Amino acid sequence: MAAPRRDTRGIVDAAALFAHVDFRRRMPAEPLRPYLEHYWLIDWDLSQPYASHVVPHPSVNIVFQRYSGQEPFAEVSGVGLEVSTHKLEGRGRVCGIQFRPGGFRPFRPGRPVSHWTGRRLPLTDVDAAAVLTPDDEDARVAALDAFLLALDPHPDPQADLAMTLVDRVRTDRTIRRVTELARSEGLSVRLLQRLFATYVGVGPKWVILRYRIHEALEHAESGTGVDWAALAATLGYADQAHLIRDFTSTVGVPPTAYARAVH
């Protein structure tokens, strides 16, 4: 991948976010690209508080953060199981590292990735200010590169397999069931579930559902009329009601109500 992806999948009301903050994605150094989606950088200077909402990807993030009146800090953010909300006010800056699903384990091989799922744990042995202080964006990216390269990731064929399988789920709409994915790879469902728990942090069924919701969310924000029954069939749902139920339980409102609100 020569450039970071440009979609807004997972961001709730992306237009509102981009109106309030300066959001960019940057690519890491070449040796790190097999493991990472991208870096994401946010700066803001707000006269009124703003709350951002994200339906998380099945990815671990390392996040360097500086908020008004607080000292800089860094933390590992495991795969989020719920919509995450972040209140932004005053001036601040965030520099994030989004790992590919399966790409975090080579940097922390001692624990299954499920150890971090649903958790945000501080990194106490990191100089967060070294990443956040430079006003030059290239300098911040270089600091992120230096931080990760110093961790000396360990190549792991199982991590490579996990990353490949999640990429298939994300891009291949014919993968609608865990049994289909396992059969296509010559794995038992039990082995597939164990691989995902260890290297991704959540099960394959959860990943399939989350990418369905991301796609439905993007359609709702597209500004065009959405045929929800047709989209439900395309995404592998038995009917429209199942899509509406999953969307509502994840985002908090039905897709039609969400589409009206963002437009």
19 plus 144 within the same structural domain: yes
Q: Are 36 and 99 in contact (CB under 8 A)?
A: yes
Domain range enclosing 254: 157-262
Q: How many domains does the chain have?
A: 2
15 plus 135 within the same structural domain: yes
Vertex 181 angle, CA 179 and 185, to 5°: 115
101 plus 201 within the same structural domain: no
Q: Are 140 and 134 in contact (CB under 8 A)?
A: yes
Rounded to an integer, the average pLDDT of 10-37 is 95
Q: How far apart are CA 24 and CA 85, in angstroms?
A: 19
102 plus 206 within the same structural domain: no
Reported as a single tens digit per residue, the pLDDT across 43-91 is 999 999 999 999 999 999 999 999 988 999 999 999 999 999 999 999 9
The pTM of the whole model exceeds 0.75: yes
143 plus 27 within the same structural domain: yes
Rounded to an integer, the average pLDDT of 188-203 is 97
Query: Which residue, 99, 133, 150, sits at the end of a domain?
Result: 150
200 occurs within a structural domain: yes
Question: Where does 11-126 show beta strands of DSSP type E?
Answer: 11-12, 22-26, 36-54, 61-66, 73-77, 84-99, 120-122
What letter represents residue 97's amino acid? I
23 plus 136 within the same structural domain: yes
4 occurs within a structural domain: no
Phi/psi for 23 (5° steps) reads: -115, 130
Residue 174 binned pLDDT confidence (cut-offs 50, 70, 90): confident
Q: Which two tokens stand for residue 151?
A: 């961790």
The DSSP 8-state label assigned to residue 231 in this structure reads: H
253 plus 134 within the same structural domain: no
1 occurs within a structural domain: no
| CA-to-CA dists, residue 231 to 27, 186, 246, angstroms | 32, 29, 13
HSE-up of residue 232 (Cα within 13 Å, Cβ side):
15
47 plus 133 within the same structural domain: yes
124 plus 234 within the same structural domain: no
28 plus 122 within the same structural domain: yes
**What pLDDT does residue 223 have?**
63
CATH of the domain at 197: 1.10.10.60
Query: Which residue, 116, 150, 184, sits at the end of a domain?
Result: 150
Reported as a single tens digit per residue, the pLDDT across 98-132 is 999 999 999 999 999 999 999 999 999 899 999 99
